[in-house]
Amino acid sequence: MVNTTLFRTYSGARLPGTDTIHEAGGNAYAFSAEHALAQLAVTGCLGATYYATDENQLEQTLALATKVDPVFLAKTALYARREAHMKDMPALLVAVLSLRDPTLFAKVFPRVVDNARMVRTFVQIVRSGRIGRKSLGTRPKRAVRGWLDAQDDDELFRASIGERPSLADVVKMVHPKPLTPARRALYAYLIGRTYDAKDLPPLVRAFEQYKTDVTGEVPDVPYQLLTSLPLGTNEWVEIAKHAGWQVTRMNLATFARHGVFGVPGMPELIAERLRDREAIAKSRVFPYQLLIAYVATRGSDLPRVVVEALHDALEMAIANVPRVEGRVWVLPDVSGSMQSPVTGDRGEGQTTAVRCVDVAALIAASFLRTATHARVLPFDDRLRDVVLEPRDTVLTNATKLAAVGGGGTSVSLPLAHLNEKREHADLVVYVSDNQSWVDASARGSASGHGASATMTEWAKLKARCPRAKLVCIDLQPYAHTQAPDRDDVLNVGGFSDRVFDVIAAFAQARGEGAGWVDVIQRMEIETA
């Protein structure tokens, strides 16, 4: 008699078997090389994660970047920078592209390496030798010189903050040709050579004058150039008046500490800037960065008008959360591994205080805010009961959600609950790191012994709700999933608000062509 354990009767469509082991030791489905590279590009900050070292992350990224087609590599770099607003990863991918396809590199460099911080990152990556070259080479030098030439004198001086390498180091390496006396004097000023003071750009002369007398008018330079000077409240007020949106967001507690908010009119001015919709869009702010500001300023006695402006700013930052019709279930992972920093451990003074669980909670609270029939079901190795009020602000609900959990990970658990209760679903959204090891996903081996528990439960739900769609948002740079892509399943990575656009398009789409890799493939390399 045939072994019915091995050859049991199976009804319905055959589910794919798992084919890899994830970092926590459970079974999973491996992404394609293209999808894996995209996942690392929009979540990887080249810092150690809960389950992987920074070295592992770099090695995996370099291996994938040499495996995919150069065109996809270029498009991934563009997507990671232009849409996901990442920094280190797009610079790394462009550096690899400079070796793989110099012509493509020249086309995408100006759109990826688009500010001084990105220039310095790109140069440091190349000269480290980790991508296979230690010197910039002809085309990269030309590209960097092109960036320098495109900046006006004031922009270039404002960009001179930052080290390792400094902008002065970059100038020494690429030898730009100054076309005006002012640019010649500025380059000499930056690299410590002799210059004629009368030829310096007016902003540089104003800064040098201010260094001798801080009671004068504060020049319009980055505050980092001023903080080493003996500044009082009046000077900090002037800095706050001229600060950009991101500088304001990052220095609310500093402004409070230096008495800025005690000056009449300043709380209102700062609040107006924080809730400026155009400035929010221009700053490429992550919604979670507003959570950082909110958490950092608790206990600093900020004026109420400024706190309310932070709430307003976040509501604007998540304005493109899809307004999906029907029943939406949002499933944030609140397990122990989600307690790690969302951008990885980057060392003392560089590691964000915001954890993966904070971002998961923020995304869940955002859906609750915009979807009429949304429900949030937090989980780790059990379901967590959290009472959320849709009318509360996103920040308030996110704080509640992030305060629970810390156990093991069972990604299939909330789907099993929906099936047990026979709940209807039109869209199910996971926010996790996919490190499921408590449920049946942990059994078997990487040789493909059976479907994941998540896919098994999803098949049951689909039998009841045939039009339902599943979205898995992964916040960490791992190359696998608990539910492989297909017409009704989307895997997307990252923690910028661009993720919401991809989900919206997928939720409205029918058939093929709505996957995340498809979105990246549609990026335009040529510009008008």
Domain assignment of residue 307, yes or no? yes
The SS3 assignment for 398 reads helix
Determine the pLDDT at residue 6. 45
Determine the pLDDT at residue 10. 42
Q: Are residues 266 and 365 in the same domain?
A: no
**298, 317, 336: which is the final residue of a domain?**
317
| Amino acid identity for residue 122 in this structure | F
Q: Residue 232 class from Cβ within 10 Å (0-12 exposed, 13-18 middle, 19+ buried)?
A: exposed
Q: Are residues 270 and 128 in the same domain?
A: no
Give yes or no for a contact between 24 and 435, defined as CB atoms under 8 angstroms apart. Answer: yes
| Amino acid identity for residue 355 in this structure | R
Cβ atoms within 10 Å, residue 281? 14
3-state secondary structure 69-105: CHHHHHHHHHHHHHHCCCCHHHHHHHHHHHHHCHHHH
Q: Are residues 167 and 134 in the same domain?
A: yes
Q: Which DSSP string corresponds to 164-205?
A: SS-HHHHHHHH-----SHHHHHHHHHHHT----GGGS-HHHH
Domain assignment of residue 14, yes or no? no
Domain assignment of residue 235, yes or no? no
Look up residue 424 and give its DSSP letter: -
Determine the pLDDT at residue 270. 96
**Which residues, 6 or more positions from 60, have their beta carbon under 8 angstroms from its beta carbon?**
36, 40, 477, 479
212 phi/psi in degrees, rounded to 5: -90, -20
Q: Are residues 496 and 358 in the same domain?
A: yes
Determine the pLDDT at residue 349. 59
Domain assignment of residue 408, yes or no? yes
Q: Are residues 194 and 248 in the same domain?
A: no
Determine the pLDDT at residue 246. 87
Determine the pLDDT at residue 12. 45
The SS3 assignment for 488 reads coil
Could you report the per-residue pLDDT of 129-173, keeping only the tens digit for each? 999 888 888 999 999 999 999 999 999 999 998 888 999 999 999
**Distance from C-alpha of 374 to C-alpha of 162, rounded to nearest angstrom:** 44
Structure tokens at 472: 């898995």
Look up residue 392 and give its DSSP letter: S
Q: Are residues 259 and 216 in the same domain?
A: no
pTM: 0.86
Q: Which DSSP string corresponds to 260-324?
A: GGGSTTHHHHHHHHHT-HHHHHHTT--HHHHHHHHHHHTTS---HHHHHHHHHHHHHHTTTS---
Q: Residue 64 class from Cβ within 10 Å (0-12 exposed, 13-18 middle, 19+ buried)?
A: buried
Domain assignment of residue 11, yes or no? no
> Half-sphere exposure (CA, 13 Å, Cβ side) for 219?
24
466: domain CATH number? 3.40.50.410
The domain of 329 spans 321-521
Tell me the angle at which helices 88-100 and 70-78 cross, rounded to the nearest 10 degrees.
150
Domain assignment of residue 232, yes or no? no
Q: Are residues 388 and 403 in the same domain?
A: yes
Strand 20-21 relative to strand 27-30: parallel, antiparallel, unpaired?
Answer: antiparallel
Determine the pLDDT at residue 3. 53
Give yes or no for a contact between 365 and 388, defined as CB atoms under 8 angstroms apart. Answer: yes
**Distance from C-alpha of 118 to C-alpha of 90, rounded to nearest angstrom:** 9
Determine the pLDDT at residue 103. 95
Q: Are residues 167 and 50 in the same domain?
A: yes
Q: Are residues 307 and 331 in the same domain?
A: no
Question: What stretches in the chain show pLDDT beneath 70?
Answer: 1-13, 298-300, 319-320, 322, 345-351, 440-449, 510-513, 528
Q: Are residues 312 and 329 in the same domain?
A: no
Determine the pLDDT at residue 294. 77
Q: Are residues 290 and 422 in the same domain?
A: no
**Distance from C-alpha of 187 to C-alpha of 43, rounded to nearest angstrom:** 36
Domain assignment of residue 230, yes or no? no
Q: Are residues 169 and 260 in the same domain?
A: no
**Distance from C-alpha of 63 to C-alpha of 94, rounded to nearest angstrom:** 14
Domain assignment of residue 343, yes or no? yes
* Number of structural domains found in the chain: 3
Of all helices (H) and strands (E), which one includes residue 470?
strand 469-474
**317, 350, 380: which is the final residue of a domain?**
317
